[in-house]
Amino acid sequence: MMIKRYICRSYLFSLIILSCMSFNLSAETKIAILEFELKDMTLAPRIPAELKRTASIKPLLEGELQSADYTIISIDLESQKAADSGVGYLFDHHDVAAKLGQQFGADYVLVGRLHKPSFLFSYLMGHLIRVSDARLIGNYISEAKGPNIKLTIKTVESLAVKIDRTLDNRYTPPPSKKQRK
């Protein structure tokens, strides 16, 4: 009789553990981050340094969100270009961005832009779109003063905080150098 109870309890405990694990697996938040586009309105647009900075944003943001256990869904550049009908199209057409995300199994798609109205500052802009209903659930703007890579990293961290507040609220940005000392 004791052995039957022990086996029954072990079986029940195992079922509880397995169901909790499967719940965690199905509760993953899958986000696709598209390549950021550069909207440079300065007198010397699209200089190589600015193109390089723009290209660095997506991998930086993916790294920040991965550190908070978000699942990053990769969408290749060719698929993104095929869905895009011109500069700003995916940024303005959430339904098309959602269809692209759905093709790759994402729950959310972030369409981003580096808007540069001046040599002195720029804005990281992002539209977070829920794939299931193609709704814009987050419209983010983070300001970057200057083209310095350290400032770009801090601006990306600020954007990650805003995205996380909309989603699962589990991201903690790295401490600043002043806080580490």
Using the structure block, give the residue that is written with the tokens 């072990």.
10
Taking residues 73-87, report their average pLDDT. 93
- What is the average pLDDT score of the chain? 87
Q: In the chain, what are the domains?
A: 29-180 (3.40.50.10070)
**Does the pTM exceed 0.95?**
no
**What sign does the CA torsion over 101, 105, 106, 107 have?**
positive
Q: Report how far Cα 69 is from the mean position of its chain's Cα atoms.
A: 11
On the question of pLDDT at 116 being above 50, the answer is: yes
